[in-house]
Amino acid sequence: MEQIQSYMTEPCSIPFCRGCGHAHVLRKLNDALVRLQLEACKVCLVTDIGCIGLADSLFALPHTVHTTHGRSTAFATGIELADGVLADSGLKTIVLIGDGGAMIGLLHLVNAALLNADVTVILCNNYLFGMTGGQNSAFSPLDFITATTPKGNVIPPLDICRLMIDSNAGFVARKLATDQDLAATIADAIAFPGFSMVEVVELCTEFGSRRNQLSGTVLRSIVESHGQQLGVLRRDEVRKEFGRIYVEKFPPDGRKGGGKGEGFIGTKFTNRLTKKFGMVLAGSAGEKVQSSASTFCEAAALSGLFSTQKNDNPVTQGSGFSLAEVCLSPGRINYTGIDEPDVVIAVSREGSRELAGRGVFGRCHLETAVICDSDVEIPETRGSIIRLPLRKTFTPARAALGALFIALARLEVFPGVALTETIGIRDANLASTLTGKVSALLDT
Partner 1 sequence: MTDRAAADRRIKLRSGNQMVAEGAVASGCRFFAGYPITPASGIYKGMIDLLQHHGDLAVSSPDEISALAYCVGASMRGYKSMTATSGPGWALMIETVQYALMTETPVVIALVQRLGPSTGGATQGAQGDVLLTEYCTSGGYTIPVFAPSAAAECFELTMHAFSWSEILRSPVILLLDKEVGMTTESVDYSALNMPRVVDRAGLRRTGGDKSDVRTYEFARRSDVPPFVAVGSDIKVTATGSAHNKSGELRKNDPETLEILHHLEEKVLARAGEMTVLGPDVESGAETLVVSFGITARAAREAVEIARRQGKKVSLVNAQTLFPVPAAGLTGAAAGTRRVVVAEENMHGQYRGVIRHLFGDRDVAGVNKIGSMITPSEILAAIG
167 near 113, Cβ under 8 Å?
yes
40 binds partner 1 (CB under 8 A): yes
18 binds partner 1 (CB under 8 A): no
Q: Of 148, 98, 153, 104, which Cα lies nearest the Cα of 125?
A: 98
Cβ closest to partner 1, residue 77 vs residue 185: 77
Q: Enumerate residues 6+ apart whose C-beta is below 8 A from 142.
A: 152, 153, 154, 155, 156, 157, 226
Cβ closest to partner 1, residue 48 vs residue 206: 48
Among 37, 41, 143, 427, binds partner 1 (CB under 8 A): 41
Cβ closest to partner 1, residue 150 vs residue 258: 258
CB of 429 to partner 1, least distance (A): 24
77 binds partner 1 (CB under 8 A): yes
Among 75, 129, 171, 207, binds partner 1 (CB under 8 A): 75
257 binds partner 1 (CB under 8 A): yes
Which region among 164-172, 259-267, 366-374, 425-433 touches partner 1 (by CB under 8 A)? 259-267
258 binds partner 1 (CB under 8 A): yes
CB of 435 to partner 1, least distance (A): 23
CB of 80 to partner 1, least distance (A): 8
3-state secondary structure of 124: strand
Residues facing residue 59 across a β-bridge: 8
Classify residue 156 by its DSSP letter: P
Cβ closest to partner 1, residue 149 vs residue 290: 290
Exposed / middle / buried, residue 12 (Cβ in 10 Å: 0-12, 13-18, 19+): middle
Residues 173-212 touching partner 1, rule: CB under 8 A, are: none
* DSSP conformation letters of 156-209: PPP-HHHHHHHTT-SEEEEEETT-TTHHHHHHHHHHSSS-EEEEEE---IIIII
- d(C-alpha 117, C-alpha 111), whole Å: 9
Residues 83-102 touching partner 1, rule: CB under 8 A, are: 83, 85-87, 90-91
3-state secondary structure of 4: coil
Among 25, 81, 169, 390, binds partner 1 (CB under 8 A): 81
Among 11, 227, 263, 359, binds partner 1 (CB under 8 A): 263
* DSSP conformation letters of 73-113: HHHHHHHHHHHHHTS-S--EEEEEEEHHHHHHTHHHHHHHH
Cβ closest to partner 1, residue 253 vs residue 443: 253
Residues 300-359 touching partner 1, rule: CB under 8 A, are: 301, 304-313, 315, 331-337, 339
Exposed / middle / buried, residue 343 (Cβ in 10 Å: 0-12, 13-18, 19+): buried
CB of 259 to partner 1, least distance (A): 4
238 binds partner 1 (CB under 8 A): no
Number of residues that bind partner 1 (CB under 8 A): 75
Q: Rounded to the nearest 5°, which phi and psi values hold at 385?
A: -85, 130
Among 67, 137, 352, 420, binds partner 1 (CB under 8 A): 67
Torsion of CA 46, 49, 55, 61, to 10 degrees: 30
CB of 334 to partner 1, least distance (A): 4
